[in-house]
Amino acid sequence: MATVQGFWSGEVSSYTQRRIDIERILSMRTVDTFFQPIVDLQQMQIIGWEALSRGPAGTPYERPDWLLQEAERVGLADEMDWLFFTSALDHALAAQLHGYISVNIRPPSFDSVVSYLYRSDLLDRFGAAKLILEVTESAPVVHPEHMREAFQPLRERGAFLALDDVGAGHSNLYILAVLKPDFIKLDRRLVDGVAENPSLAALVMAVAQWAAKEGIGVIAEGVERPADLVALRKMPVHCVQGFLLGRPRRHQESV
Ligand SMILES: [Ca+2]
């Protein structure tokens, strides 16, 4: 990955400097993509990977949430989202990773990403049935009906829709019921400690049972403890993700 060391400002201070930093990252595409395994809970086999973006290493922009927040502050969040998305697909294609590739999309960028995928040949090159679009919690899903309708042409070509961070943030139950994604990703705050906390366990079980009735796959995120893994195996949860199963890695290490 190219580095922005040398011209990066060194401190995130003024609006103008921030804007210059963000524009440089966008024009030089100095973002990287790590991949974290998604593991089938019964077979304990890797069935896919979540693509996770990183900003320029060694700068305050390395953390993707911080980078997106800074891009938002200078009015370039959609552009950064697009760079994250295209970088993730480029890295996944280059790595020839097996299984699903799950890519995060902020709700404000959803329409433009979906229409681009529909128009371009990227979906054919990538393999539509490998792609999961994860709608993230970073901004509210204002019109889940619209989102569901907008995604339909991609669904017909085989792609999947996931709702991220379910149980926390903006991903509320109403959105879940209307959007009816192919997968839900249970937020780590519901998953961590599920083995010892009966209230948490009852909640996860209720959501997972509802999802099973609706034909929605359940992926539990943030699994870091063996006890939680054991508890989740007793529930209708299909897949798990977390440090216990594998940390995010560069693609060279992922194949
Ligand atoms: Ca995610």
Cα-to-centroid distance, 164 and ligand 1 (Å): 5
The rounded Å distance from CA 97 to ligand 1 centre is 18
Q: Specify the fold of 15-254.
A: TIM Barrel (3.20.20)
Residue 230: the pLDDT is 96
pLDDT at 139: 72
CA 135 – ligand 1 centroid, Å: 8
| CA 221 / ligand 1 centre spacing (Å) | 9
- Alpha carbon distance 18, 162 (integer Å): 32
Average pLDDT over residues 73-99: 92
Q: Are 208 and 218 spatial neighbours (Cβ–Cβ below 8 Å)?
A: yes
Element (H, E) at 40: strand 32-40
Please tell me the predicted confidence (pLDDT) of residue 138.
Answer: 67
Q: What is the pLDDT of residue 8?
A: 58
Count of CA atoms in the C-beta half-sphere (13 A) of 72:
12
Rounded to the nearest angstrom, the gap between the alpha carbon of residue 137 and the centroid of all alpha carbons in its chain is 10
Report the mean per-residue pLDDT for the chain: 90
Q: Which of 91, 69, 90 minimizes the C-alpha distance to 81?
A: 69
What does residue 141 show for φ and ψ, rounded to 5 degrees?
A: -85, 105
Q: Confidence class of residue 6 from pLDDT cuts 50, 70 and 90?
A: very low
Q: How far is the CA of 81 from the centre of ligand 1 (A)?
A: 13
pLDDT exceeds cutoff 50 at 75: yes
Q: How far is the CA of 187 from the centre of ligand 1 (A)?
A: 9
147 CA from centroid of ligand 1 (Å):
17
Q: How far is the CA of 50 from the centre of ligand 1 (A)?
A: 7
121-151 pLDDT, tens digit per residue, is 888 888 899 999 999 866 777 789 999 999 9
**pTM (2 d.p.):** 0.89
- Token pair, residue 57, equals 């290493």
pLDDT in tens, 197-251: 999 999 999 999 999 999 999 999 999 999 999 999 999 999 999 999 999 998 7
